[in-house]
Amino acid sequence: MGRQRPIRNSYDGDIMSELKGTGQQTADAPTPEDAFHEAAALDARETDSQSSGRNGGPVLAADGTPLKRSLSRALRRQKLRALALIAPLLIFVLFSFIIPIGSMLFRSVENGFVEQTLPLTVAELKNWDAESDTLPDEALYQAFVTDMVAAVEAKEHTKLGSRLNYEQTGLSSLFRQTGRKIKKIDPETDGPFKDKLIDIDDKWGELETWRTIKTHSVRYTNGYFLNAIDMQRTAEGAVAQPENKRILITLFMRTLFMSLVITTSCILLGYPVAWILANLPARSANMLMILVLLPFWTSLLVRTSAWKVMLQQQGVINEVLVWLGIVPDDARLVLINNQLGTIIAMTHILLPFMILPMYSVMQTIQPTYLRAAKSMGATNWTAFWRVYFPQSVPGIGAGSILVFILSIGYYITPEIVGGTKGVFISNRIAYHISSSLNWGLAAALGTILLAVVLILYWAYDKIVGIDNVKLG
Amino acid sequence: MKPTKLLIASSALALSAGAVAAADMTIVSWGGAYSKSQQNAYHAPYTAKTGVNIINDDSSNEAVAKLRAMNEAGNVTWDVVDVVAADAMRLCDEGLAMEIDPDTQLAPAPDGTSAADDFGDLLVSDCFIPQIVYSTTFGYRTDLVGDTPPDDVCDVFDLEAYPGKRALEKRPINNMEWALLCDGVAKEDVYDVLETPEGQDKALAKLDTIKDSVVWWSAGADTPQLLADGEVVMGSTYNGRLFSLIVEQKQPVAMLWDAQVFDLDGWIIPAGLSEERQKQALDYIYFATDTQRLADQAQYISYGPARASSAPLVGKHAELGIDMAPHMPTDPANATNTFLYNYEFWADYRDDIDAKFQAWLAK
């Protein structure tokens, strides 16, 4: 961030500019960064002087040690102290954020469970060609019965059934029911097992079942990521999901598109508000500020439910429009349970995140610039567009990043007002975390979402430059 | 000397705090009127009898995910959890709930019938102790349906006779069954048809005919609110919610019991509790699921007790003084045409059909 000299505000006495004054003073104090620059400069001079051979020994400090060494020692101390100061936060973030998130994301590839539960079967399956048209031989069935009896003993078989049911419908009950009946079989003496197992359930005599187990027995799988982009892992490799099950890509696209729309509408609505806030006298600005912050302090659920009351077909807006005769009673507007509802409610909820950074940037723009521009003959519009607006862009940038990233992960508002076409990918992630318990898929979706955000952030840095973002 | 004394004093304090905590029980349920009915019928008498302090936690709608997380962290803080039967089955499959032997661990009926026989078919999972029978059914606005109120579940699909919006749950369960029933599939064949991709398409095609007139709900409180606001003409929800809308809030709404889908709600005990806590939890369950206790709960909420022996004991509403029997989903007059949620089927097909259903919704 470029460090600019503070330009004294015209209303010098007010609190805001006083606060700003102190802020800038600290920025003027020497920082470790300054010391680095100086050390680098010294370094450069030293090599300079050595190569030219004009001057013999290095520059010495007061106590006789070379200045470079004593400076770097001082710097190291400073760095250690800085590290010690941030250590509590660093450790906190590490344990409460980075490690849990990391382990959650790791689930998107981790798949050791199948092999752990059916070790002998998985080893035997390696000898069986999944693309052949013959069933596995007796050795595999024997291995499977041994594994399965052990799994039933450890009560792991139903868990395995739920895991494999994500890949092939019906395996959940197959494992549950086989588990009940297999207790009567002794894996040591009761062989051969092939017919016995097929007797328990026909599915054990189907190629499809064994193919699914084989395909999903690898320790690290790409299956969840393939599912996350509407594909599936099969014995023949990755193939697209059937058309009537494709939904996740649509949801990703919709999430990005709607987040963009919400960000844009926040800019359009927030900019004039921030401008008024920044240009009013402090007393009235503070009053208005409370109005901006008030929704911030109200529960999210209350605000979202309030929108429901406003927007529904028998709601306040429709009633008023019908009463005014603008809208006929039998053709009331559909403002909720669709994309429009999500956009309206989320724009309102995220608006403070746009106004606040804009406001604090606009605070620093001198009104004298506008006056100067006008005195030199600019029209109101030119003065605004050529002089004021470019200086406020860093505030728009900061607000947009905040709003966009927040809205991309929004969950509860789309769930309540989004109906069917206004829900986001996060609603699907929540479903897989809490209802279907398919945490691997949820983790894969989350990882993709995180990657998309990082890519967009990188692109933003390339196009706009992250230096141009200011929170004040 | 001083620091040592302090240490001894504080560890003694910690020990006594630990002893107090052992007499506490955390019971997880759904909150609202339902938790209140359990507080009155089970928790209060149990505390009076044993002195055990019961802490209520309203987390049942995310119980499965939370129990799994607790289990992985090795620190299960819940003692007894109220879940719907499908979740109980899932928890049992995942090894997150303890298996119960009804004959030794649950109270027999007053006439000596064993608990297993008293609960009968409702013991749908080895880990599940049923508590109530509830149903998902329709309510309609009496003032918005004209002179012939709907009496058939297929009226939901009849936009000509009953124009206006309908509220349906934003998931395939129940909706797919109703769609097939109204598309001419016989009741006993519904799940056989729904097993096939063609059957699923058929159900979705039927739902497609009313898709534009549906408001999809995800919380049980949505439909009563939508009905009260006149946003929808009819909508599905849990019968207890409709009871409170009709009887307690006196809204112009009536029940459409036809093809109501019975479902069960009950207790599970999390796996991995310490021996002492497990004993405590089992003691509570033994007390709270006996014949009289289950009948008592029906004084506060219109859900049917899961024991056959409790049904004759159902009396009047504790505050309103009205007879509760006619409001029970299990009452013969209401239960002329019913449907029982097929747990095995949905445990298998839930993920597959849900993906199709959501893709269809997004179209």
Q: Which residues of A touch B360 (CB under 8 A)?
A: 244
Q: Residue A209 phi/psi, 5° resolution?
A: -60, -50
Mean predicted confidence (pLDDT) in B195-204: 96
pLDDT digits (tens, 9 = 90+) for A14-31: 444 444 434 344 444 455
Q: What DSSP letter does each residue of B258-320 carry, written as one string?
A: EEEEEEEEEEE-BTT--HHHHHHHHHHHHHHTSHHHHHHHTTTSS-EESSGGGGGG--B-TTT
- Cis upstream peptide for A281 (omega within 30°): no
A155 and B351 in contact by Cβ < 8 A? Answer: no
B93 and A247 in contact by Cβ < 8 A? Answer: no
Size of interface A-B (CB pairs under 8 A): 83
Sequence letter at residue B310:
S
Here the CATH number for the domain that contains residue B212 is 3.40.190.10
pLDDT band at A33 (very low <50, low <70, confident <90, very high): low
Closest CA to A409 of A369, A373, A456, A360: A456
pLDDT digits (tens, 9 = 90+) for B207-237: 999 999 999 998 888 999 999 999 999 999 9
Best B351, B352, B357, B361 member to test A by mutation, with max A CBs in 10 Å, is B351
Architecture of the domain delimited by A248-468: Orthogonal Bundle (1.10)
What's B23's DSSP letter? Answer: T
CB B136 within 8 A of CB B174: yes
B348 and A162 in contact by Cβ < 8 A? Answer: no
What is d(CA B145, CA B228) in angstroms, rounded to the nearest whole number? 14
Q: Which residues of B touch A257 (CB under 8 A)?
A: none
Give the nearest partner residue to B355 out of A171, A245, A433, using CB atoms: A245
B272 and B294 assigned to the same domain: yes
Is residue A34 over pLDDT 70? Answer: no
Q: Residue B15 falls within a domain, yes or no?
A: no
pLDDT band at A56 (very low <50, low <70, confident <90, very high): low
B357 and B238 assigned to the same domain: yes
Give the nearest partner residue to A437 out of B90, B170, B231, using CB atoms: B90
pLDDT band at A37 (very low <50, low <70, confident <90, very high): low
Q: Does B349 touch chain A (CB under 8 A)?
A: yes
Total domains, chain B: 2
Q: Residue B8 falls within a domain, yes or no?
A: no
B89 and B209 assigned to the same domain: no
B34 and B128 assigned to the same domain: yes
B246 and B216 assigned to the same domain: yes
Is residue A125 over pLDDT 60? Answer: yes
Sequence letter at residue A350:
L
Q: Residue B18 falls within a domain, yes or no?
A: no
Which residue intervals of chain A bear CATH 1.10.3720.10? 248-468
pLDDT band at B270 (very low <50, low <70, confident <90, very high): very high
Q: Residue B159 falls within a domain, yes or no?
A: yes
Q: How far from B324 is each of A32, A264, B6, B291, B301, CA to CA, in Å?
A: 76, 55, 59, 17, 8
A173 and B351 in contact by Cβ < 8 A? Answer: no
pLDDT digits (tens, 9 = 90+) for A381-419: 999 999 999 999 989 999 999 999 999 999 999 999 998
Q: How many CB atoms are located within 10 Å of the residue B260 CB?
A: 25
A170 and B348 in contact by Cβ < 8 A? Answer: yes
Q: How many CB atoms are located within 10 Å of the residue B120 CB?
A: 12
B52 and B123 assigned to the same domain: yes
Q: Does B355 touch chain A (CB under 8 A)?
A: yes
B278 and B142 assigned to the same domain: no
Best A165, A246, A333 member to test B by mutation, with max B CBs in 10 Å, is A165
Place of tokens 């080893």: A123
B126 and B271 assigned to the same domain: yes
B36 and B49 assigned to the same domain: yes
B178 and B124 assigned to the same domain: no
A158 and B361 in contact by Cβ < 8 A? Answer: no
Task: Give the residue, A55 or B11, on which the prediction is more confident.
Answer: A55
pLDDT digits (tens, 9 = 90+) for A283-338: 999 899 998 888 888 899 899 989 999 999 999 999 999 999 999 988 899 999 99
The residue range of the domain holding B311 is 23-133+264-327
Q: Does B358 touch chain A (CB under 8 A)?
A: yes
State residue B341's pLDDT score.
87
A247 and B170 in contact by Cβ < 8 A? Answer: no
Q: Residue B10 falls within a domain, yes or no?
A: no
Mean predicted confidence (pLDDT) in B31-38: 90
B275 and B297 assigned to the same domain: yes
B208 and B244 assigned to the same domain: yes
State residue B161's pLDDT score.
94
B356 and A158 in contact by Cβ < 8 A? Answer: no
Mean predicted confidence (pLDDT) in B144-163: 94
Q: How many CB atoms are located within 10 Å of the residue A336 CB?
A: 27
Task: Give the residue, A46 or B339, on which the prediction is more confident.
Answer: B339
Q: Please classify residue B279 by burial: count the beta carbons closer than 10 Å to its beta carbon, then call 0-12 exposed, 13-18 middle and 19+ buried.
A: exposed
Q: Please classify residue B236 by burial: count the beta carbons closer than 10 Å to its beta carbon, then call 0-12 exposed, 13-18 middle and 19+ buried.
A: buried
Q: Residue B16 falls within a domain, yes or no?
A: no
B93 and A161 in contact by Cβ < 8 A? Answer: yes
Q: How many CB atoms are located within 10 Å of the residue A458 CB?
A: 11
